[in-house]
Amino acid sequence: MVSSPVVNTYPLSSYTFGTKEPKMEKDTSVADRLARMKVNYMKEGMRTSVEAILLVQEHNHPHILLLQIGNTFCKLPGGRLKPGENEIEGLKRKLTSKLGANSPALVPDWQIGECVAIECKKLFLVHLSEREYFAVPKNLKLLVVPLFELYDNVQRYGPVISTIPQQLSRFRFNMIST
Amino acid sequence: MVSSPVVNTYPLSSYTFGTKEPKMEKDTSVADRLARMKVNYMKEGMRTSVEAILLVQEHNHPHILLLQIGNTFCKLPGGRLKPGENEIEGLKRKLTSKLGANSPALVPDWQIGECVAIECKKLFLVHLSEREYFAVPKNLKLLVVPLFELYDNVQRYGPVISTIPQQLSRFRFNMIST
Least confident range from A26-30, A115-119, B45-49, B58-62: namely: A26-30
Give the number of other Cβ atoms within 10 Å of residue A33's Cβ.
18
The predicted structure's pLDDT at residue B156: 84
The answer to whether A154 and B83 are in contact (CB under 8 A) is: no
Least confident range from A43-57, B37-51, B117-131: namely: B37-51
CA distance B114 to B10: 18
**Beta-carbon separation of B122 and A115 below 8 A:** yes
Give the pLDDT mean for A127-136. 91
The answer to whether B63 and A144 are in contact (CB under 8 A) is: yes
Per CB-CB distance under 8 Å, the chain A contacts of B124 are: 50-53, 87-88, 91, 112-116
Per CB-CB distance under 8 Å, the chain B contacts of A41 are: 117
**Closest by alpha carbon to A88, among B126, B57, B77, B79?**
B126
Calculate the dihedral angle through the C-alpha atoms of B109, B67, B38, A110, rounding to the nearest 10 degrees.
Answer: 130
Distance from CA of B105 to the nearest CA of A (A): 13
Give the number of other Cβ atoms within 10 Å of residue A44's Cβ.
15
Residues 6+ apart with CB under 8 A from A88: A112, B124
The predicted-structure confidence for B123-157, as pLDDT tens digits, reads as follows: 999 999 998 899 999 989 999 999 999 987 887 88
Interface predicted TM-score (ipTM) of this complex, two decimals: 0.79
| Residues in chain B, overall count | 178
The predicted structure's pLDDT at residue A69: 80
Least confident range from A21-30, A33-42, B92-101: namely: A33-42
The partner residue sitting opposite A10, judged by closest CB among B119, B164, B176, is B176
**Beta-carbon separation of A45 and B148 below 8 A:** no
The partner residue sitting opposite A170, judged by closest CB among B4, B121, B131, is B4
Distance from CA of B152 to the nearest CA of A (A): 15
Per CB-CB distance under 8 Å, the chain B contacts of A87 are: 122, 124
The partner residue sitting opposite B20, judged by closest CB among A23, A117, A135, is A135
Q: Give the burial class of B156: count Cβ atoms within 10 A of its Cβ; 0-12 exposed, 13-18 middle, 19 or more buried.
A: middle
**Beta-carbon separation of B54 and A126 below 8 A:** yes
Q: Which of A57-66, B68-77, B149-158, B169-178 has the highest mean pLDDT?
A: A57-66
Give the pLDDT mean for B90-113. 90
